[in-house]
Amino acid sequence: MLKSPRLNAQRMALLGTVAVLSLTGLAVQALSPAQAQTPPALTIGAAPQSFADIVARVRGAVVAVKVKTIETASADEDAQNAMPQMRPGDPLEQFFRRFGGEGQMPFGRQQRPRAAQSLGSGFIISDDGYVVTNNHVVEHATEVTIALDDGRNVAAEVVGTDPRTDLALLKIKEKGPFTRVAFAGDMPRVGDWVIAVGNPFGLGGTVTAGIVSARGRDIGAGPYDDFLQIDASVNRGNSGGPTFNTRGEVVGVNTAIFSPSGGSVGIGFAIPTEVARDVIESLRNKGSVARGWIGVQIQPVTQDIADSLGVKDAKGALVAELQNGSPAGAAGIRSGDIITAVNGERIEGPRELARKIAGAGPDKQAELTYLRDGKEQLVKVTLGTLPQDKPRRADSNGREGGAERNALSSLGLTLAPATAVPGVSREGVVVVQVAPNGAAAATGLKAGDLILEAGGQKVERPSDVSVALANARKEGRRALLLRVKSGDNTRYIAIAPAG
């Protein structure tokens, strides 16, 4: 599915597995006094000498997913291969124009549809032929064919997709029964053996093995990233294929790789079963996924922010802004609160909060633990339904006005009342200028940003920011906490003055 390799987490269409890695017992003998003092070697257990029995049991459920799509390509792309290169003014140029029609040779930019085909992997989870794969494998598909392990090619339809987790559910149109596999009931530990099976580079059923290298990876693929990192070799064509434990249960859905070349370098990412199982069940029952929503913009609690709020631990999710009509707002949550737990389970940061709220589902009640003014409080929130993503507007440009300004030299900021800058806002102060080497620039503040609060207090004039800064210094805080709006996004910034 990749059109060009990049040095980042890349999505792949996979169908394979990898080289078998195994460890056998090693005997250590005391050959010298120095060696006799060496601590005994750790015993490595559960390392099979062969994965053949597991593979024989599961490979019949692993399939290749063949997808046909319609892409649009400009006439320029087609003509580059089909037409001769001519200098401007060449006599043949007019001939080709007349022969092909105006705008249909290399000189036009007409869009032409063309058929394309891609390959991925998947696995059957039911006797009647439900197949799990990646959303990016079947996205924009006009026709889907499943290649079974026994050599048959059968038609399939897309039951539902979930772009947020990159999962999709297909249904084979022929009657079963089919060989199937099951999701694991527990998650693997870092260091556990895993086996990947798929269709790398269209080669057909391929098996590779390795270990779980890490858990909880966030690779920036989506809002609910929680990937398993595995070192079993996966490549393009493996997308949507399963990762098995040594009991032959699915512990992950292969989705992405980190590679400078487009091929495996031993760093692959799989959607864990605990995420995939619930999404696939919802797609099977409803054809879509409905997620819980509390209607807040959240951000991580950095150590600077924790210090400016007088909070000991830099953990939890800081509420930057509440959306209109949000369930959290109705329950009493305010900007500046730090959500630290959901239903009694502690959260480390914003992504964990997002996953827990989304996974709870709409119309459910959740108990949120949060910090306000350093005190822990509880509130019950009835979750709404996560709306579709809205397009974001570009950040506004800073504009000069004839308004009162205040140069806060220690912060590297020049501010003006927002009301004095036409079309900006009726509240807060607008950033007019940011010193390139100042403290404000280091936090990412830029001209056009709107400061709504400083030190927990609303601001209307630049002098309000100066007062908040003086108060923070009196209280012995190392940084001043600002609530800032950039375009449609609101966030908190902890800024430490110079000097």
Given this model, what pLDDT does residue 73 score?
53
HSE-CB of 262 using CA atoms within 13 angstroms:
10
Q: Comparing 58-62, 132-136, 299-303, which segment has the lowest mean pLDDT?
A: 299-303
pLDDT at 392 over 90: no
Average pLDDT over residues 388-412: 44
CATH level 2 (architecture), domain 406-495: Roll (2.30)
State the catalytic residue, choosing from 149, 162, 166, 449.
166
DSSP 40-106: PPPP--S--S--HHHHHHHGGGEEEEEEEEEEEEEHHHHHHHHS----TT-HHHHHHHHHH-TTSST
- In sign, the C-alpha dihedral spanning 54, 55, 57, 63 is positive
**334: three-class secondary structure by DSSP:** coil
Q: 452 vs 89, which has greater pLDDT?
A: 452
Given this model, what pLDDT does residue 281 score?
93
Given this model, what pLDDT does residue 491 score?
87
How far is 421 from 462, CA to CA, in rounded Å?
13
pLDDT at 359 over 50: yes
Q: 418 vs 456, which has greater pLDDT?
A: 456
Average pLDDT over residues 385-396: 46
Given this model, what pLDDT does residue 90 score?
54
Q: 56 vs 19, which has greater pLDDT?
A: 56
Q: 391 vs 279, which has greater pLDDT?
A: 279
DSSP H helical ranges for 287-426: 303-309, 327-331, 350-360
Q: 175 vs 9, which has greater pLDDT?
A: 175
Given this model, what pLDDT does residue 344 score?
92
State the catalytic residue, choosing from 121, 136, 225, 264.
136
Q: 425 vs 218, which has greater pLDDT?
A: 218
Q: Answer for the pair 412, 439: CB distance below 8 angstroms, yes or no.
A: yes
Q: CA-CA distances (angstroms) from residue 98 to 74, 92, 94, 103?
A: 19, 10, 6, 10
Q: Is residue 140 annotated as a catalytic residue, yes or no?
A: no
Domain boundaries in the chain? 1-24+47-289, 292-385, 406-495
pLDDT (tens digit per residue) in 6-17: 333 444 433 333
Average model confidence (pLDDT) across the chain: 77
Given this model, what pLDDT does residue 262 score?
66
Question: Which of 168-182, 283-297, 466-480 ranks highest by mean pLDDT?
Answer: 168-182
Q: Answer for the pair 295, 326: CB distance below 8 angstroms, yes or no.
A: yes
Considering all CA atoms of the chain, what is the largest pairwise distance in Å, rounded to the nearest integer?
93
pLDDT at 302 over 80: yes
pLDDT at 390 over 50: no
Q: Answer for the pair 383, 364: CB distance below 8 angstroms, yes or no.
A: yes
Residue 382 CA, distance from chain mean position: 26
Amino acid (1-letter code) at residue 317: A
pLDDT at 256 over 50: yes
pLDDT (tens digit per residue) in 21-78: 222 333 333 434 444 344 455 445 556 678 999 999 999 999 999 999 876 554 444 4
Q: Is residue 488 annotated as a catalytic residue, yes or no?
A: no
Given this model, what pLDDT does residue 388 score?
55
Average pLDDT over residues 229-251: 91
Q: 259 vs 468, which has greater pLDDT?
A: 468
Fold of the domain spanning 292-385:
Pdz3 Domain (2.30.42)
Given this model, what pLDDT does residue 156 score?
95
Q: Could you tell me which CATH class the domain 1-24+47-289 is placed in?
A: mainly beta
Question: Which of 82-86, 216-220, 239-243, 393-397 ranks highest by mean pLDDT?
Answer: 239-243
Given this model, what pLDDT does residue 370 score?
93
Contacts of 445 (CB under 8 A, 6+ apart): 413, 431, 434, 482, 484, 493, 495
Given this model, what pLDDT does residue 112 score?
56
Average pLDDT over residues 139-146: 91
Given this model, what pLDDT does residue 381 score?
94
Amino acid (1-letter code) at residue 215: R
Q: Whole-model pTM above 0.95?
A: no
**Domain 406-495 in the same topology as domain 292-385:** yes
pLDDT (tens digit per residue) in 178-226: 999 999 999 999 999 999 999 888 787 889 999 999 988 877 666 677 8
pLDDT (tens digit per residue) in 96-116: 444 444 444 444 444 556 677
State the catalytic residue, choosing from 233, 239, 259, 282.
239
How far is 55 from 302, CA to CA, in rounded Å?
46
Q: Is residue 225 annotated as a catalytic residue, yes or no?
A: no
Given this model, what pLDDT does residue 261 score?
66
Given this model, what pLDDT does residue 244 score?
96
Residue 48 CA, distance from chain mean position: 34
- How many helices (H) and strands (E) the chain has is answered by 11, 28
Given this model, what pLDDT does residue 138 score?
92
Given this model, what pLDDT does residue 8 score?
38
Given this model, what pLDDT does residue 323 score?
84
